Amino acid sequence: MMLSQSVLNALVSVFVFNQCLAYFSVEKHDDCFCQLSGKIDECTCNIDTVDHFNNVKVYPRLKSLLLKDFFRFYKVNLKRPCPFWSDDSKCAMRYCHVEPCLAHEIPEGLKGATKDNNSQKTHLQTSPADKYARDQNEGCTSQHNTLDYLNKTLSEKAQKDIQLWNAHDDAQDNFCEIDENDEEAEYVDLLLNPERFTGYAGASAHRIWKTIYLENCFRPKRSFNFNPYIQSAKLNELCLEERVFYRAISGLHASINTHLCSNYLLSESNGLSLANPKGKWGPNLEEFQKRFSPDTTNGEGPNWLRNLYFVYLLELRALAKAAPYLESEEYYTGNDPNDWDTQMAMKDLLNVIKSFSDHFDESTMFRNTEQAEKLKYEFKQHFRNITKIMDCVGCDKCRLWGKLQIQGLGTALKILFSGKLDNVANNIKLDSHNKKEFQLSRNEIVSLVNAFGRLSNSVYKIDDFRQILR
């Protein structure tokens, strides 16, 4: 049946109207991404370059690597009291709870077993005092028995003092005060305690971020303290190092918000309540728009997402710089086949990371001798305060992931600015005490890779939200 010309014209008009309506609807709802393009602040590469590099090359590798036992178990003390205010805001929801690992669930290599390179078997490590004596005597011949005897007769106090001296020396490079050697520290399985929206929100959660921004970030002299966030237009009033600090914290905040929006309890869509432990989790587009739309963030939401890309590049550069050190690690858990797979997977990831051509350039920072040292000290102290603020988070699961990501970022800063990795070719050179000049603890490596995994996940999920909107 042939349609009349008037009917055809009417259909065409309706089609065009609907297309225009759809276009303006996309424009209206796509405002979270309206400024998310072009060059990344303080860096030389573009956002679309990072999107492709991460989503195609990095994210799939990290997703597989973080399933390995070495990276899934993180040791942390979640019982420290808040040092800044009375902690009266504990989250009572079951989603906030973290269940530590039982002894039999922890790989032998993480409980103190070490590899015997001769027999390829494991043995339980002796006490720190005995280990110190043994390490001092490695390679001694029978004619040095007197020295062996003298080392073993060191008093327990002297041995503990030596351990404290070594810990003090190592701590000078650290940006964090998260100590996995606390007596109350326990192993947590990160795969069984994923980061997601638990219902922890409101005044207590806002107080954490407000304290971080207002009291521990560098701020322009003329900024008003009632607004914790610095307007992007005012960031140029800060020096480079101060801007880097703010962008790193803002980017981490944006990343955490992206995780919560992408792994949100969808109670309204399936009729479940927050008290139901079998709730359906997934992306919440409305929440994402609320947290990043210019309309609800005084125009700053897209800039916060840009800062996420910045901290991604900062941690990417740290991994590239520490690659020779990380490639030499055994990633030991006591399971030889799995440990080998972890080593190969890590080397593959690091090869990809090193191939990136537009890394963040940390050499432009802290260049003015006397003033630079003072600024670096303030930079470090501000960040250490933020690690302490994590003990004020009222939700255990939020505290767990907050501590891990802060320690990961702090480890990245240690790699970039301690000065011990500036000569990359010699970064695993041994000193006279048979100790690496540059040291990372197992927890630092676990937090560094997992924190970067969280940023990688955020960049990937941002693209998911972009596709959902369009």
pLDDT at position 114, please? 55
- Write out pLDDT tens, residues 15-51: 444 444 444 344 445 677 767 888 999 998 999 999 9
Whether 196 has a binding-site annotation, put simply, is yes
CA distance 468 to 470: 6
CA distance 437 to 419: 11
- Write out pLDDT tens, residues 394-408: 899 999 999 999 999
CA distance 27 to 38: 18
348-358 burial, b at 16+ Cβ within 10 Å, e below that, comes to: ebbebbeebeb
Question: Greater confidence, 354 or 166?
Answer: 354
Give the residue among 302, 288, 307 at the shortest CA–CA distance from 468: 288
Q: Is the pLDDT of residue 119 over 70?
A: no
- Write out pLDDT tens, residues 406-441: 999 999 999 999 876 765 444 444 443 444 578 899
User: Poorest-confidence range of 121-125, 189-193, 297-301?
Assistant: 121-125
Banded model confidence at residue 202, pLDDT cuts 50, 70, 90: confident
pLDDT at position 5, please? 59
Residues 6+ apart with CB under 8 A from 208: 389, 392, 393
Mean pLDDT of the 99-108 span = 91
Banded model confidence at residue 183, pLDDT cuts 50, 70, 90: confident
- What are the structure tokens assigned to 430, written together? 């041994």
Whether 291 has a binding-site annotation, put simply, is yes
CA distance 4 to 140: 102
What whole-number percentage of the chain has pLDDT above 90?
Answer: 51
pLDDT at position 427, please? 45
Residues 6+ apart with CB under 8 A from 454: 195, 255, 256, 259, 401, 405, 408
CA distances from 335 to 121, 249, 309, 340, 470 (A): 10, 37, 36, 9, 46
Whether 198 has a binding-site annotation, put simply, is yes
For tokens 């073993």, name the residue.
Answer: 152
| pTM for this predicted structure | 0.81
The yes-or-no answer on residue 91 being catalytic is no
Q: Which long-range contacts (CB under 8 A, 24 or more apart) does 294-302 make?
A: 294/31, 294/32, 294/34, 295/31, 298/231, 300/229, 300/231, 300/232, 301/32, 302/31, 302/32, 302/33, 302/34, 302/35, 302/36
Q: Is the pLDDT of residue 373 over 70?
A: yes
- Write out pLDDT tens, residues 275-322: 455 567 899 999 999 999 999 999 999 999 999 999 999 999 999 999
Banded model confidence at residue 242, pLDDT cuts 50, 70, 90: very high
pLDDT at position 95, please? 75
The yes-or-no answer on residue 398 being catalytic is yes
Whether 52 has a binding-site annotation, put simply, is no
- What are the structure tokens assigned to 85, written together? 């205010």
